[in-house]
Amino acid sequence: MAQTYIGASIKRREDIRFITGRGTYADDIKLPGMLHAAILRSARAHARIRSIDTTRAGAIPGVVWIFTLGDIGEMAVPVPMRMYKIAGLERYLQPLLAQNEVRYVGEPIAVAIAESRYLAEDALDAIEVEYEDLPEILDVTAALRDDVLVHERTGTNLAAVHEIHVGDAAAAFEKADYTRREMFRVHRHTGNPLETRGLVADFDAGKRQLTVYGMTKLLHYNRQVIAAFLKLPEHNLHFIENDIGGGFGIRGELYPEDFLIPFASVRLGRPVKWIEDRREHLMAANHSREVSCELEIAARRDGTLLALRAKIYGNMGAYVRTHGGLVPCSTAALLPGPYRIPNYECKIHCVVTNKTGMGTYRAPGRYESCFFRERLLDMVAADLDLDPVELRRKNLIQPEEIPYEIGITRPGTNPTVLDSANFPSALNRALQEFDYSRIAACQGRLENGRYHGIGVAYFVKNTGGLEPYEGAKVVLGDGPSVAVYLSINVLGQGHETAMAQICADGLGVPLEWISVFHGNTDLVPFGWGTFASRGTVMCGNAVHLAAQRLRQKLLLIVGEQLSLDPAQLELHDGNIHQKGSRDPVLDLKNVLAHVRETVRVNPGEPALEETAYFNSNQLTHSYGVHLAHVAVDPETGVVEILRYMVVEDVGRCINPLLVHGQAVGAAIQGIGGTLFEELVYGENGQLLSTTFRDYVLPSSTDVPPIESVVLEEAPSPLNPLGVKGAGEGGIVGTGAVLANAVSHALSSLGVKVTELPLSPDRLRALIRNHTARRA
Amino acid sequence: MKPAPFEYFAPEKIDDAVELLARYGEDGKILAGGQSLMPLMNLRLARPQVVIDINRVTALDYIAQGADGVLAIGALTRQRSLEHSAVVKDHNPVLAATMPLIGHFQIRNRGTIGGSLVHADPAAELPAVSLALGAEFVVKSERGERVISAEKFFLGSMTTVIEPTELLTEIRFPRWRPGSGWAVEEVARRRGDFAMVGAVVWLQLDGTGLCEETRVALFGVEDRPVRIVRGEQILLGNRPEADIFAEVAEVVAEQLDPVSDVHASREYRKEVGACLTRRALQTASGKVGKGVDP
Amino acid sequence: MSMKHSVRLAVNGALYERLVEARMTLADFLRNELHLTGTHLGCEHGVCGACTVLLNGNAVRSCLLLAVQANGAELLTVEGLTAGEQLHPLQRAFQDRHALQCGFCTPGFLMTAFAFLKETPRPTHAEVREAISGNICRCTGYQPIVQAILQAAGETATDKKRDIPKR
């Protein structure tokens, strides 16, 4: 049967409500009797709380309640770790509200509930907190000395360690002709979705049902945890996403507010809304990327890579959050990249400091490891007098070696296996599309006062898996119409359209018949969520399975009804045909009416629906190449990107429009993070980046057009659709490629980048230091 | 981020505004374009008890060129009006060229020249331009009017000589000398952002090609715009050429005592201050004698 | 301090009158008093542009205006772009070009683009990029937004009747 919708660039149906201003984001929800919450947050990086006086605040007319941890009493639990629970991390979980001690600027201390947000903030102003300052520690190196402890009772700031051993790195290093060691650092930054976090919790005391709007990412898991906390049955909680203004990994993980706001609603018996403001978001929502790495490489003189040895340090912040050790561990997981490096040893250190907690941000750990590895490869190429592209090409894993087992590079016992790839082909395609051989002639050239540089970076990214399943329910209704219910939620990626395409092809009906429902724990009882680019891989396959099964069921029913062999029937475009004939045998409307009334196929089952779960705990890997051509003004340190290209193999493309959209959006985010953004802490542990004037996001005039090339050369063998996730590949290589390009541009000035961001100030410092060293 | 409570007045006449200032000035703030004050109020970094909204004092919104060539601009004149004004384009090309650097067009739709000057953000363009062009500010209170030169106006970060009970009513730019060369250069993190470092220069040559008058001012580098007087002195009496510019740049690097912040270090500001001055002087000398629209 | 001020204004052609505190921002007024929630808040300090509306024909950041300042004014918000069931060419172009993903920044971009095209009906690519540089998008990378605005410019420049949506 010819596929008609999968692979087509269908315009998004969800757009209508967004372009007419009729989306429903958390702050758009208004319920009768709704109250507004504001959170009092710590103004100190590390201090004991001697007292909290809410008397004046509580007396303000319109302020309904102010509560602290004491009011939660025995119900209080710490925010749990969900994954990467490396032994030791469990000692550093975050309490819902600080009681005796605060450990980062922004830590929640109290919640004020009032008739309006304005009044709630007035209440915050009137709450008096007496702090007794304690010394703070911000930097990983200093923290490792353990002379200032973030959590005194643990006795150490080294929260956990994890080791990876593949092959025999020690031996390889000993025998190697050539080795090199460097220290690399990626800076703290984060995703900043344009909509800040927000929740509306609505407890119906009569029915003992709680509805929470604005929850996302992991609805079922989050519901389980909050239900346990509130001592309510799981199914009495309804988590509904509605529309979400971006997530990028930051939104949807459990934070203290996800407990506090439902708690307030239950206690007060009224709806409570909490909308985070931007200042809060910058200091309280997950930070990411602050990972440093001492990386050593061993090779032969001809450039054959032999071994990698790494010490990775993740600055976890003051508390370990839901992700556990994910960020530093994910940095280690794919550090070897697409290259054949038989020996790999890594020691991962999770270190706490008095900063905001660290969590996932689009391609967590992979942006970092790509930067570390690809920078080092360029250095190796220079040392060994090899062309940087040829060095990479020489070491790429070949198609005949696929599937390629890298080794056990993640906690647990599952080896990391590159399931499907043609690495050389993607490289060739990238070089060709970019016209690399011609442009590389600019390398290091000074033109009109600016130095030019071309950079290359190869990336691999795991997608799918992580949690073992997702589900979908497909239901036929009057019209005819089809409802697709997803176990996942949507943060703007276009799943409403992509899933409809998959269902249309799987079931054999026109796209217009299909409505997609998502982001509601009541739709499909079991599910995990949208993260790690697993939405299409996991839920898309579930949709396809359910649709195909429903199709079979319908053919069975019609066959029985008309005394025809179902094996000789087909359903496509919403019509049932005999094979080989164009004439519809039966209108689906008749089938529906018939089945609804008579209950065929299986006794008691109206048979107009089918639920399927797609199961896979294996990761499938997308991969590709980033290329960039930059011009750097050596006097001001300003970088202009003249050309930027992302080449990515996604296995199979459901909707090219959406996939390109992800690649371009991700690349711009990565460029912004690499050139402009940084979460800066000052003296006394104050977060200095608390507004968009300090935390600089890229705008339209700061970024180049992104050339995006999508390949489908290596479909995934791990799922029936052959798809890989496409949400993150565009960001993974951005730090690496720009650092390589800038290093090439400024090589005559002796600049070699080992740290990000590539801000004007830092580049000037690199140039200045080198000039000083030479003088 | 919601503002703290305040009392609100919206006078329509200058005298009413002045009277309100006399009564509430100590506890109050003037609200003009709001593009600087409102963010501070939303963040609760500014908590005036009284807000005197002068947006309805339309008598303060004008651009007028006097017979003596002085360009008089009402304090409430929107930045966009200045951007699109033919009068400004013809009679003050530095001001005209600076306007598009300020924020974005949505900000310039509301932001006023007076507001920007009184807010005195050290990284803002208009204070530096007013310093470089020798502007004068007319300030009114119940006690009367006074005229203050730009030189004396800016005291420090977000601080001017204006008293809480005074209202800036007019900004006067001296007659523009046709044939002057000028340039505005800045390095900002993004287009439209406040500058990390900026330079405004203009120069006038005599009949023999020697510099007879000049101004060099930098912004974004210290707590207020700075004039590099020693640098100006080097230019005077000399041909505007690369080696002279290099000397001036050295003076800039020596004289500046810059701040360090999240965007740029002290060293950066010194070096780039010098560099931008050099580039601005180069550009300015290229414009000499070419009329207002090069 | 909790004294209320009267605000009378027209929004998308309809007249409204309310009593509000002076400190209520125009954005909150539109969203919470008039229930026009299409205008969004992304930063509340004038950088992201998600709150952009037209005030007396000019694009402004509604988070930096007080509701009382809009007394007597005429406002246009994203809800006013659609004329009945008909999408404005800008709205259609955004969909055509996949110029939105999460949609949160979209109303701000639409209003900015609408104001811009009124003044510059036949812009160049560079002019469009400049015009939208005061609006932040985290999802799309801006390219498709520029394309959408150019597409709409091609349509509205030749169709004068579409300049101001009529009720």
Residue C103 maps to which CATH number? 1.10.150.120
What is the spatial distance between Cα A672 and Cα A678, in angstroms, rounded to a whole number? 10
What mean pLDDT do residues B233-255 have?
A: 96
Cβ neighbours of C32 in A, within 8 Å? 30
Q: What is the pLDDT of residues C31-42, one digit of tens each?
A: 999 999 999 999
- B86 Cβ under 8 Å from any chain A Cβ: no
What mean pLDDT do residues C129-134 have?
A: 97
Q: How confident is the model at residue A576 (pLDDT cuts 50, 70, 90)?
A: confident
Q: Do A122 and B4 touch (CB under 8 A)?
A: yes
In A, minimum Cα distance to B43 occurs at: A279
The residue among C5, C135, C19 whose CA lies nearest residue C78 is C135
What mean pLDDT do residues A337-348 have?
A: 98
The pLDDT of residue C161: 45
The domain total for chain C is 2
Cβ neighbours of C115 in B, within 8 Å? 106
In A, minimum Cα distance to B195 occurs at: A693
Structure tokens at A317: 């912040």
Q: Is A275 helix (H, G, I), strand (E, B) or coil?
A: strand
Q: Residue B161 is which amino acid?
A: V
Q: How confident is the model at residue A344 (pLDDT cuts 50, 70, 90)?
A: very high
What is the spatial distance between Cα C37 and Cα C35, in angstroms, rounded to a whole number? 6
Q: Decide if domain B181-286 falls under CATH 3.30.365.10.
A: no
Q: How confident is the model at residue A462 (pLDDT cuts 50, 70, 90)?
A: confident
The total of other beta-carbon atoms located within 10 Å of residue A623's CB is 29
Cβ neighbours of B48 in C, within 8 Å? none
Cβ neighbours of B275 in A, within 8 Å? 635-636
C-alpha distance from B280 to closest chain A C-alpha (Å): 14
Q: Do A768 and B1 touch (CB under 8 A)?
A: no
CB A682 within 8 A of CB A619: no
- φ/ψ of residue A103, rounded to 5: -125, 0
Q: Which residues of A touch B (CB under 8 A)?
A: 117-118, 121-122, 125, 277-279, 635-638, 676, 678, 680, 688-689, 691, 693-694, 696, 698-699, 701-702, 759-761, 764-765, 768
Helix/strand/coil (H, E, C) string of A530-543? CCCCCHHHHHHHHH
Which CATH code fits B58-173?
A: 3.30.465.10
CB neighbours of A320 closer than 8 A, spacing ≥ 6?
A: A81, A89, A90, A92, A93, A94, A159, A350, A352, A357
C-alpha distance from A180 to closest chain B C-alpha (Å): 32
Residue numbers of A between 1 and 20 with CB closer than 8 Å to C: 11-12, 14-20
Q: What is the pLDDT of residues A514-561, one digit of tens each?
A: 999 988 888 888 888 777 777 787 888 899 999 999 999 888 888 877
The pLDDT of residue A288: 98
Neighbours of chain C (3+ CB pairs under 8 A): A, B
Peptide bond connecting A757 to the previous residue in cis, omega within 30 degrees of 0: yes
Residue numbers of C between 46 and 85 with CB closer than 8 Å to B: 46, 49, 52, 58-61, 63-66, 68-69
CB A35 within 8 A of CB A114: yes
The distance in angstroms from the start CA to the end CA of chain A is 73
Neighbours of chain A (3+ CB pairs under 8 A): B, C
What mean pLDDT do residues A586-608 have?
A: 66
CATH class of A15-21+466-615: alpha beta
Q: Give the one of A28, A192, A661 whose C-beta lies nearest to C101's C-beta.
A: A661
Q: Do B110 and C65 touch (CB under 8 A)?
A: yes
Cβ neighbours of A23 in C, within 8 Å? 38, 103-104
Q: Give the one of C1, C52, C58 whose C-beta lies nearest to B6's C-beta.
A: C1
Range of the domain at C68: 4-80
In C, minimum Cα distance to A22 occurs at: C38
Is residue C167 domain-resident?
A: no
Strand ranges in A100-157 using DSSP code E only, listed in sequence order: 101-102, 108-114, 128-133
In B, minimum Cα distance to C27 occurs at: B2
The total of other beta-carbon atoms located within 10 Å of residue A422's CB is 19
C-alpha distance from B279 to closest chain A C-alpha (Å): 11
- C56 with C33, same domain: the answer is yes
Q: How confident is the model at residue C1 (pLDDT cuts 50, 70, 90)?
A: low
Cβ neighbours of C59 in B, within 8 Å? 105-106, 109
Is residue C133 domain-resident?
A: yes
Residue C64 maps to which CATH number? 3.10.20.30
Q: Which CATH architecture has domain A432-462+620-775?
A: 2-Layer Sandwich (3.30)
Domain ranges of chain B: 7-53, 58-173, 181-286
The pLDDT of residue A598: 64
The distance in angstroms from the start CA to the end CA of chain B is 45
Q: Which CATH architecture has domain B7-53?
A: 2-Layer Sandwich (3.30)
Cβ neighbours of A702 in C, within 8 Å? 133
What is the spatial distance between Cα C55 and Cα C44, in angstroms, rounded to a whole number? 18
Q: What is the pLDDT of residues B92-136, one digit of tens each?
A: 999 999 999 999 999 999 999 999 999 999 999 999 999 999 999
Q: Which of C60, C80, C100 is a domain's end point? A: C80
- B121 Cβ under 8 Å from any chain A Cβ: no
- C68 with C10, same domain: the answer is yes
C-alpha distance from C136 to closest chain A C-alpha (Å): 6
What is the spatial distance between Cα C69 and Cα B230, in angstroms, rounded to a whole number? 47
- C130 with C69, same domain: the answer is no
Which CATH code fits A136-190+287-396?
A: 3.30.365.10
What is the spatial distance between Cα A491 and Cα A251, in angstroms, rounded to a whole number? 9
What mean pLDDT do residues C112-126 have?
A: 97
Is residue C97 domain-resident?
A: yes
Helix/strand/coil (H, E, C) string of chain B? CCCCCCEEECCCCHHHHHHHHHHHHHHEEEECCCCCHHHHHHCCCCCCCEEEECCCCHHHCCEEECCCCCEEEECCCEHHHHHHCHHHHHHCHHHHHHHHHCCCHHHHHHCEHHHHHHHCCCCCHHHHHHHHCCCEEEEEECCEEEEEEHHHHEEECCEECCCCCCEEEEEEECCCCCCCEEEEEEEECCCCCCEEEEEEEEEEECCCCCEEEEEEEEECCCCCCEECHHHHHHHCCCCCCHHHHHHHHHHHHHHCCCCCCCCCCHHHHHHHHHHHHHHHHHHHHHHCCCCCCC
The pLDDT of residue B83: 97
Q: What is the pLDDT of residues C51-102, one digit of tens each?
A: 999 999 999 999 999 999 999 999 999 999 998 889 999 999 999 999 999 9
Residue A60 DSSP code:
S
- B43 Cβ under 8 Å from any chain A Cβ: yes
What mean pLDDT do residues A630-657 have?
A: 95
Residue spans in chain A of domains classed CATH 3.30.365.10: 15-21+466-615, 136-190+287-396, 432-462+620-775
- C118 with C64, same domain: the answer is no
The pLDDT of residue A1: 47
- Mean pLDDT, chain A, rounded, equals 93
Q: Is A98 helix (H, G, I), strand (E, B) or coil?
A: coil
- C52 with C115, same domain: the answer is no
Q: Decide if domain A31-134+193-284 falls under CATH 1.10.3720.10.
A: no
Cβ neighbours of B39 in C, within 8 Å? 44-46, 64
Q: Which of C66, C116, C137 is most worth mutating to test chain B (most B CB atoms within 10 A of its CB)?
A: C66
Query: What percent of chain C has a predicted confidence (pLDDT) above 90?
Result: 89
The residue among A757, A698, A687 whose CA lies nearest residue A279 is A687
Q: What is the pLDDT of residues B79-92, one digit of tens each?
A: 999 999 999 999 99
Q: Give the one of B191, B192, B265 whose C-beta lies nearest to A761's C-beta.
A: B265
Strands A272-275 and A198-204: antiparallel
C-alpha distance from B72 to closest chain A C-alpha (Å): 32
The pLDDT of residue A619: 84
- C12 with C63, same domain: the answer is yes
The pLDDT of residue A581: 82
- C44 with C69, same domain: the answer is yes
Residue numbers of B between 183 and 202 with CB closer than 8 Å to A: 187, 189-194, 196
What mean pLDDT do residues A225-249 have?
A: 95
pTM as predicted:
0.95
CB C98 within 8 A of CB A10: no
What are A586's strand-pairing partners? A576
Q: How many CA atoms lie within 13 A of B46 on its CB side?
A: 20
Q: Give the one of A28, A278, A701 whose C-beta lies nearest to C37's C-beta.
A: A28
pLDDT top residue among A349 and A608: A349
What are A690's strand-pairing partners? none
Q: Do C65 and B38 touch (CB under 8 A)?
A: yes
What is the spatial distance between Cα A79 and Cα B288, in angstroms, rounded to a whole number? 67
